[in-house]
């Protein structure tokens, strides 16, 4: 460990970086890593966070004193959670600790234990060395930008670390994982009654979801082809991120070598789902959302809108009958918009799926998303229809989509960089040779072209990166390459500090 952290001051002086307070959760590096992200949090800072989170929930949000806490499978996550709990207890909170869990498992515990608040210690898909907290003050809801900004100002504006108050209570709830899995098995056994089952490759990348998804699908009768599902906090094979190409390529191999009907992969804390079709091809989550949404429209008669994030395909508006509501990217944004609009479901291209009652409880859950997709395909197979995911996708208009590329930009400058690039794109009449129809500034800058093609450039909300995605509807995908060239030219012309990112030829 760097000498800066191998010192008495590390245990005595608070380290709590302002940049860790992000748009819809909090994330810091807590252990030195080989990358360029500095350590921004220590355990003194975590206790300080817990104290102020408890007081913020009770004094500012009037959310009551009951809170569920849990942690993901990383070498330091339980220590982070324990430090957070100390602060919460100091604030007078009544803590229900469910221990090792996925993030959806923590959300579920809010309902099963009838507790309004949640604090889940997880860095999600971030590399080792990172930690974070996903927080909420009511069921099926997590902090959005308004709450995060207020919490940041509330916490950083205080110097108090020893506020006198009545102590809280602590309960460790055993069997939370078992209750979560049992409940889903009971509920979905009814939906799958009489339906054929599929052969499913399951890959958790040695993350926490490996304790959940394989057992759940096996108990529901699916033939599970297991990947790296034993939790291992060193992540020896790849980082469990459904937008990471090495992770996805491994699932492609798992599907093709085992003749699986479908490949499913889960991120480190289990709230996101990645999908590989029966041919071993990556399917972006926004396309998966269309397939499931069409099934819900046609089979269940659902009439409410669907919520989609700005990173998603423009096909939603042409392929679905129900209304489409666009939302900013981010699990809290989409979750809130689903609740606000009374939507049937919400879909985020990064792999967050949100299903309202009766399918889900409104929060993002990779296991529930997997079950919804399998229900769609199994129902089609039972009806004698085209049921393979590749066939379902072939029914949609063809387009070419870039992967989610995330070149490094510092947290301090990433929003400025987006504004610089937006100023450049605002002046364009054509992009890649196609006429610009509109520019959407809901979240970053999304340029819509005359043939439904589009480009999005935005700042990542949870890491020091840009997000660059494009989709085109030309015959051969050359428009995607032309757009990519113009993005690189815009970055160079704006003279901004942006790290390298892969060319489309590498995918």
What amino acid positions are annotated as catalytic residues?
A: 124
Q: What is the DSSP letter of 101?
A: -
Query: Cα–Cα–Cα angle for 264, 266, 269, nearest 5°?
Result: 165
Q: How far apart are CA 418 and CA 2, in angstroms?
A: 33
Instruction: Residue 461: count other Cβ atoms within 10 Å of its Cβ.
Output: 22
List residues bridging with 141 in a β-sheet: 138
How far apart are alpha carbons 265 and 365 in whole angstroms?
12
Nearest one of 125, 132, 148 to 27, comparing CA atoms: 132
DSSP 220-266: TT-EEEE-S-S--TT-SS----TT-HHHHHHHHHHHHHHT-SEEEEE
β-strand pairing of 273-276 with 282-283: antiparallel
Buried/exposed 133-168: b ≥16 CB within 10 Å, e otherwise: bbbbbebbbbbbeebbeebbeebeeeeeeeeeeeeb
Query: What is the distance between the alpha carbons of residues 299 and 378, in angstroms, rounded to a whole number?
Result: 13
Burial class for 349, CB neighbours closer than 10 Å (0-12, 13-18, 19+): buried
**Cα–Cα distances in Å, from 182 out to 179, 216, 450?**
5, 8, 49
CB atoms within 10 A of CB 9: 11
Do residues 145 and 481 lie in contact, with contact meaning Cβ atoms separated by under 8 Å?
Answer: no
Task: Give which of 131, 136, 148, 65 is closest to 107, Cα–Cα.
Answer: 136
Confirm if 121 and 73 have CB atoms less than 8 A apart: no
CB 425 within 8 A of CB 447: yes
Contact between 40 and 29 under an 8 Å Cβ cutoff? The reply is: yes
| Residue from 216, 223, 181, 219 nearest 200 by CA | 223
324-327/353-355 β-pairing: unpaired
Question: How many C-alpha atoms does 435 have within 13 Å on its Cβ side?
Answer: 3
Helices (H) and strands (E) counted in the chain, each on its own, are: 15, 21
Q: Quick one: tokens of 258?
A: 């085992």
**CB neighbour list of residue 59: distance below 8 Å, 6 or more residues apart:** none
């Amino acid at each position: 460990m760097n000498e800066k952290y191998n010192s008495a001051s590390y245990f005595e002086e608070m380290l709590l970086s302002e940049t860790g307070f992000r748009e819809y959760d909090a994330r810091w590096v807590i252990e030195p890593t080989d990358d360029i992200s500095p350590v921004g949090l220590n355990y003194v800072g975590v206790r300080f966070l817990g104290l102020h989170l408890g007081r913020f929930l009770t004094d500012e949000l009037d959310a009551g004193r009951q809170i569920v806490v849990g942690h993901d499978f990383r070498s330091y996550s339980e220590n982070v959670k324990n430090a957070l709990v100390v602060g919460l207890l100091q604030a007078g909170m009544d803590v229900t600790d469910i221990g090792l869990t996925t993030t959806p498992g923590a959300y579920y515990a809010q309902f099963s234990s009838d507790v309004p608040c949640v604090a889940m210690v997880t860095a999600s898909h971030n590399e080792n060395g990172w930690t974070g907290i996903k927080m909420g003050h009511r069921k099926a809801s997590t902090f959005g930008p308004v709450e995060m900004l207020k919490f940041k100002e509330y916490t950083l504006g205080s110097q108090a670390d020893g506020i006198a108050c009545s102590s809280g209570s602590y309960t460790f709830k055993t069997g939370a994982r078992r209750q979560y899995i049992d409940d889903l098995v009971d509920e979905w056994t009814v939906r799958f009654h009489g339906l054929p089952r599929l052969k499913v490759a399951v890959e958790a990348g040695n993350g926490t979801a490996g304790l959940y998804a394989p057992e759940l699908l096996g108990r529901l009768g699916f033939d599970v082809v297991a990947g790296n599902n034993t939790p291992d906090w060193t992540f020896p094979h790849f980082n469990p991120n459904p937008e990471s190409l090495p992770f996805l390529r491994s699932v492609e191999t798992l599907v093709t070598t085992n003749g699986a009907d479908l490949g499913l992969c889960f991120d480190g804390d289990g709230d996101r789902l990645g999908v590989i079709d029966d041919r071993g091809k990556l399917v972006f989550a926004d396309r998966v959302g269309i397939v499931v949404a069409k099934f819900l429209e046609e089979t269940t008669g659902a009439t409410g809108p669907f919520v989609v994030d700005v990173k998603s395909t423009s096909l939603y508006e042409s392929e679905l009958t129900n209304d489409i509501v666009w939302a900013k990217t981010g699990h809290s944004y989409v979750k809130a918009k689903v609740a606000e609009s009374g939507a049937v479901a919400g879909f985020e291209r990064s792999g967050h799926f949100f299903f309202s009652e009766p399918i889900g409880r409104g929060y993002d859950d990779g296991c529930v998303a997997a079950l919804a997709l399998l229900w769609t395909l199994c129902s089609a197979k039972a009806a004698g229809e085209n049921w393979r995911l590749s066939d379902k996708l072939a029914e949609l208009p063809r387009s070419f989509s870039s992967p989610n590329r995330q070149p490094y930009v510092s947290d301090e400058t990433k929003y400025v960089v987006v504004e610089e690039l937006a100023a450049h794109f605002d002046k364009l009449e054509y992009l890649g040779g196609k006429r610009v129809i509109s520019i959407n500034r809901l979240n970053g800058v999304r340029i819509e072209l005359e043939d439904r093609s589009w480009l999005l450039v935005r700042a990542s909300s949870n890491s020091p990166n840009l997000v660059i995605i494009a989709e085109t509807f030309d015959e051969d995908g050359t428009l995607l390459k032309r757009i990519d060239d113009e993005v690189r030219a815009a970055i160079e012309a704006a003279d901004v500090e942006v790290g390298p990112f892969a060319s489309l030829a590498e995918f």
